[in-house]
Amino acid sequence: MPPAAPPLVVQKYGGSSLATPARLRRVAARVAAVRRGGCRVVVVVSAMGDATDALLALAAEVRGAGGAADGRELDLLLATGEQAAAALLALALAAEGVPARALTGARAGLRTDGRHGDARIVALAGGRRGGVQRALAAGCVPVVAGFQGLSRGGEVTTLGRGGSDTTAVALAAALGADRCDIYTDVDGIFTADPRRVPGARRHDVLSHRDTLLLTHAGAGVLHPRAAALAAAHCLTLRVLSSLEDGPERGTRIEGENTVEMPRILGIAAAGGAARVVVDAAAGASMAEGPGAALRALAAAGVPVEHLEEKAGAGGRRMALLVPAAQGDEACRALRAAFAEPARVALEPPVARVTVVASGMGALAGRVAAALAALEAGGVDAEGLGISPMGLTLWVAPGHAARAVALLHAVLVEEAGAAAGAGGVRRPA
């Protein structure tokens, strides 16, 4: 029998971990140390620092007011950010004495659909002859440019903002990696963003399900699509800080919950959604109301983040949330779908603040106290929904940070609840 291959670890480094030459060298030293420990390492990188924002700003400036965004060109431009980071990290690794090979997403075999700016991974091409496997076989560290792939038509695509996490998880699943470590600038997933809420507590362990709920609520440390992919593959993830030395503290994501105790997992805000309101004619059916709206937006390529509808005497009123950049597009599509006297209007944006919980019903008293604290703190909720999975509030974007802090103070800090999922069963 051939000797067992050494463990394989996929490490992903976010932009803040790579923002300066000194940080790149620090990452190279970390990779070298893991390799000396007897592991094979595959690295996935984001663009350095704010490079993606800078490229987007450049494109906007060059285009001016007149030009429409072209997804194909924008993707080609944005993909260079990760490519530069991969090449530079490979150079830094070589300087550490670690042979490394920088790979574009295409060269690493990431195949996607053709949706520019929001492409989905459809396959990992190449198998044993792919760029990553070949680099590993040659004893090199593959350094893969995250966030990008190649469409069937041979075009460079990108996976949406924050998409390098998804690259890392997809690669780890396809390679059968023993572990996938996501390095960022905070050491784990907390009950709220620790950079804004000083009392936030780190989760040492989280189940895949709870992680998915927290990322969808807006916990920015991990991309929701990466969390979903890790859950689907039962892949163990760790979220760690690359900026701290010493023993690694972070959040381990694995397995499923075994305890049913009511608990609060965290509080997060997601902002920047555009809100469109449609007043459909009286007597319109569900298929003619929400059904028609969903069809029109799907045809226009506008994803619906939330839809709420109420039927009243005057007709049906629908409120829809769509990505901020697509508010006008959504209005155009809905106006074409709903004839007069229906009315379509773009309203001021709202932020969504979510308390992610389990067994919310048993926590009603604490929730009531939290709502009183919000009111005393001057936060005006435009809408509120409670379900067994938590509490959602709609607030003006300027109130979101305060709402998170107030809710956290009452529901987590005052309650003295221990952070942590309490009872996560590891996968067999």
User: Does 167 participate in binding Mg ion (rule CB under 5 A)?
Assistant: no
163 binds Mg ion (CB under 5 A): no
Indicate whether 131 belongs to the interface with ligand ASP (CB under 6 A).
no
Residues 52-111 that bind Mg ion (CB under 5 A): 52
- Residue type, position 346, single letter: L
Q: Which is nearer to Mg ion, 323 or 359 (CB)?
A: 323
Q: Which pairs count as long-range contacts for 61-66, CB under 8 Å and 24+ apart, including other chains?
A: none
Q: Shortest Cβ distance from residue 155 to ligand ASP (Å)?
A: 18
Q: How far apart are the first and last CA of the chain?
A: 25
* Residues 6 or more apart whose Cβ sits within 8 Å of residue 164: 12, 14, 44, 45, 46, 82, 146, 147, 223
Q: Which is nearer to Mg ion, 110 or 267 (CB)?
A: 110
Residue-by-residue DSSP string for 57-99: HHHHHHHTTTPPP-HHHHHHHHHHHHHHHHHHHHHHHHHTT--
Q: What stretches of 106-243 show up as alpha helix (H) in DSSP?
A: 131-137, 164-175, 208-217, 224-232
Q: Give 47 or 278: the residue with its C-beta nearer to Mg ion.
A: 47
d(C-alpha 269, C-alpha 276), whole Å:
20
Q: Which residues contact 417 (CB under 8 A, 6 or more apart)?
A: 263, 264, 411
Distance of closest approach, residue 55 Cβ to ligand ASP, in angstroms:
9
Helix axes 400-408, 364-376, angle to 10 degrees: 140
Instruction: Give the residue with the Cβ less far from Mg ion, 225 or 408.
Output: 225
* Residue for token pair 């997403």: 105
When asked if residue 46 is in the footprint of Mg ion (CB under 5 A), the reply is yes
Among 11, 16, 17, 46, binds ligand ASP (CB under 6 A): 46
Could you give the string, one character per residue 70-89, with x where binding to ligand ASP holds by CB under 6 A and - elsewhere?
Answer: -----------x--------
- Residue 161 interacting with ligand ASP (CB under 6 A): yes
Tokens representing 130 are 């792919």
206 binds, among Mg ion, ligand ASP, none (CB under 5 to 8 A by kind): none
- By CB under 6 A, name the one of 163, 224, 250, 327 that touches ligand ASP: 163
109 binding partner (options Mg ion, ligand ASP, none; Cβ < 5 to 8 Å by kind): none
Binding site for ligand ASP (CB under 6 A): 15, 46-47, 52, 81, 146-147, 161-164
Binding site for Mg ion (CB under 5 A): 15, 46, 52
